[in-house]
Structure 1
Amino acid sequence: MKYLKGNQIREKFLSFFEQRGHKRIPSASLVPNDPTILLTIAGMVPFKPIFLGKVKTDLKRATSSQKCIRTNDIENVGHTPRHHTFFEMLGNFSFGDYFKKEAINWAWEFLTKELEIPEEMMWVSIYLDDDEAYEIWHNDVGLPDSKIKRMGEEDNFWKVGPTGPCGPCSEIYVDLGEHGDLEIWNLVFMQYNREDDGRLTPLPRKNIDTDMGLERIASVLQGVPSDFETDLLYPIIKETEVLSGHKYNKNEEKDLAFRIISDHIRAITFMISDGIYPGNEGRGYVLRRILRRAYRYGRFIGFSKPFLYKLIPTVIHVMKEGYPELIQKERQIIDITLTEEKRFQTTLDQGLAMFEEIIKNVKSNIISGYDAFKLYDTYGFPIDIMKDLAKERGLSIDEEGFKEE
């Protein structure tokens, strides 16, 4: 297996597909040209109008490394080896051009020839009745039956929504021994349209949409147990060690803080770079939630004053090869981050004191929606921070009651 840095993997992937007739498309903004979503959450988002047939284009093949933001499971970030708010999605796309045969063979070629991952370390999943994909994996690639696992709709059938384009998918896994199996690449074969009555009808143009997480594949090639130890995130952890005076891998509570901060500061940097500023609604509130959560976790490793802004030069140093536009925006990103940190610093201590008073009167280990809303309304505590605080004390929050307030 070839050791490669994150920047090398990104470039190797894009070059590989460029050589096979794909147009290299720069990462789109985190602010999508799509009113149905707040943020760019996947590599296919910029191409959605093409997949849905809403725009005419001569583009047949594309490849990109797309920056993405997801916060639907933010509470898992730092607790697991792979969850992130910010991540990069490597992808190759076909718009009515090639289909399963090329997508599968190229994926296998890239993994085994370019990245030199031993074939015996990998296995694949396919949709339950996708015999076409089975034949390609078995006859073209040469995988034995034992390495091809058929799975149901929940695991191996992709859809854009209850109706619309959809299709089976094939996922590629790496066996990491004691660390289990890791999915590294999802190949989506968009070949059907689901009608309003639930029927599947063949699409006039069959499309390909593949997604491979850069951080995940970097962890495999660099031989580290989690994404946080890759060269994409670990330099941020090392700089946080310097600033805080604490060491990573010494205490699990502190390690959690290191991981959350290293993830969140990347999201903060890229969101501000793309013109998103802290606010009380929409994308601005997503950014505020992420920034304030990271700031609060700084308390676990000794920070009592603004510190996140000092990590931004490290993020930019790590990411500038793939995103050179960050360099010109560094001062602006630092200033906005510092301003927001100062704003929250003045209310954090008061809010924490109020939280301590609230939990003295908690019944049935549940913080009422009224009390949670009071924290939010008075001290600007995002619900994520309250959930973290409650979890640390073995409590939960009445989230439905909070929404009603």
Structure 2
Amino acid sequence: MFTKRSLKEKFSSEWKRHYHVEIFAERGFQRRKCKVCNEYFWSLKEKETCGCEKYEFIGNPVTKKKTDYIETWKIFENFFAKHDHTPINRYPVIDRWRPDLFFTMASIQDFQRIDQGNMVFEYPAENLIVPQVCLRFNDIPNVGVTGRHHTSFIMSGQHSFGGYWKDRCIELNFKFLTEAMGIPEEEIVYKEDVWAMPDFSAFGPCIETFCLGLELANSVFMQFTKTGNTYKELPLKVIDVGWGHERLVWFSQGTPTGYDAVFGPVIKWMKKQSGLKENDLFRKYAALAGNMDIDEVHDIDKARLRIAKTLGVSLKELKEIVEPFQALYAIADHTKTLLFAITDAGIPSNTGGGYNLRVILRRALSFLKEFEFPFSLEKIAELHAKYLYPLFPELSENLNLFSKIIEVEKKRYEKTLKNAEIIIRKE
């Protein structure tokens, strides 16, 4: 049977062909097996685990300096421009070129086209980078809770369409981390994996990059296509590296949550206005919550109870401290997502992708009401637009449109709440 698991087993058995690259031999990386997930990885120092470990960078950043959201992209852009990559502007977050998709969810999607049922690529340069804003809504309950989940994020796309292959790709990865970011090489881990389209029309080995427990990038080598019960090489081999921009920012700063690093002055202003101040208990919680996924534990109170016991406090005490912060982070995230979507002609609705936008809008409004925060979504959007202006000036140009749409949606939401109250009273 043709599955990712069978491919992973085959590629792993042929690891010298699929995963060994020149930089591993040059620097002395050794292949090891993780005692937690039983997958193979490469590291310089003796390790028992790949990325299956607690975040060790929180409160302990190892980059040569702390960089904010804008500066991190500039460092990335300058490095790859010097190494023969053409920087291009982001594509819209509302996908108008793929009839099967509503949102842009990955940077490689910018260049994919469907031609008579076949996937083809259209690209402006052979080697390029793009600060592609992506929208994903499969982890909404995690947003604000884990410290690392977002509904919108920049995938710093590093792509090569036949320009170079694995050796050069991982060499650039290693040099960016060690030279541009200043990360000690012994803290870098490369994990073997497989990436595939759902129909296996394109797939290949991939190498994930971890540092101190945090995944920073995934280098996909789009190399094969399925033909019956076997596969063959694609005529055009594509390098598809998705760098987690938000994660690079967070890693460089070592803040309790990724939101504090990513939202910068926006979240500082929100905390000041709401009177929220971090204490030692919150910081300890944040370090543990980064490894928690609601979709894995299914019961957030069960997960919180486990953390509360670890910290030696009651669940009630823990919730009183962390829930206002989580609401604040979610509002910041959701407002930013809505601003990008509305800027790119997306509208909250009850159909298609618009439903996802309405869900996060109403989630943000409910948090505003529940915790009585003294600010509006319009003000948060204004702060986001100001902070992100060096990268995305178009956000500032669409603040009036954002305000008009949010005002309409607020009225609809309030009407829905009133109707619900009437129904409850009748019962």
The answer to whether the superposition gives a TM-score over 0.5 is: yes
Partner Cα separation in structure 1 for residue 246 and residue 362 of structure 2: 24
2:235 alignment counterpart: 204
**Residue 53 of structure 1, CA deviation:** 5.9
**Residue 306 of structure 1, CA deviation:** 8.0
Partner Cα separation in structure 2 for residue 35 and residue 75 of structure 1: 28
How many corresponding residue pairs?
Answer: 321
Conserved? CA contact 1:190–1:207, under 8 Å: yes
1:188 alignment counterpart: 220
Q: Does 1:98 align with 2:130?
A: no
Cα gap change, 1:199 to 1:283, in 2 (>3 Å): same
**Residue 357 of structure 1, CA deviation:** 8.9
1:281 alignment counterpart: 351
Conserved? CA contact 1:50–1:57, under 8 Å: no
Task: Pick one of 20, 31, 43 that aligns with 2:107.
Answer: 43
Partner Cα separation in structure 1 for residue 408 and residue 112 of structure 2: 36
Q: Does 1:216 align with 2:279?
A: no
Amino acid at match of 2:126: K
Gaps of 5+ in 2: 1-62, 283-319
The 5-angstrom pairing of residues 211-250 of structure 1 reads 211-230=242-261, 232-247=262-277
The 5-angstrom pairing of residues 23-42 of structure 1 reads 23-32=86-95, 33-42=97-106
1:82 alignment counterpart: 148
Q: Does 1:63 align with 2:93?
A: no
Conserved? CA contact 1:89–1:213, under 8 Å: yes
**Residue 209 of structure 1, CA deviation:** 0.3
Partner Cα separation in structure 2 for residue 11 and residue 335 of structure 1: 33
Gaps of 5+ in 1: 127-155, 176-180, 359-405
Conserved? CA contact 1:306–1:345, under 8 Å: no
Compare relative contact order (CA 8 Å, sep 6+) and give the higher one, 1 or 2: 2
Q: Percent identity?
A: 32
Task: Pick one of 183, 207, 225 that aligns with 1:117.
Answer: 183
Deviates more, 1:308-317 or 1:237-246: 237-246
**Residue 88 of structure 1, CA deviation:** 0.5
Report SS of the residue matched to 2:113: helix
Conserved? CA contact 2:85–2:128, under 8 Å: yes
Task: Pick one of 342, 348, 351 that aligns with 2:417.
Answer: 348
**Residue 198 of structure 1, CA deviation:** 3.8
1:386 alignment counterpart: none
Partner Cα separation in structure 2 for residue 173 and residue 300 of structure 1: 38
Q: CA RMSD in A?
A: 2.4
1:224-260 deviations in Å (ceiling 9; x for gaps): 1321110x31433333335445556572121121111
2:367 alignment counterpart: 297
Partner Cα separation in structure 1 for residue 375 and residue 409 of structure 2: 9
Conserved? CA contact 1:239–1:311, under 8 Å: no
Partner Cα separation in structure 2 for residue 98 and residue 3 of structure 1: 31
Conserved? CA contact 2:112–2:122, under 8 Å: no
Partner Cα separation in structure 2 for residue 356 and residue 220 of structure 1: 50
Task: Pick one of 292, 300, 308 that aligns with 2:377.
Answer: 308
Q: Does 1:169 align with 2:169?
A: no
Report SS of the residue matched to 2:157: strand
Partner Cα separation in structure 2 for residue 17 and residue 333 of structure 1: 34
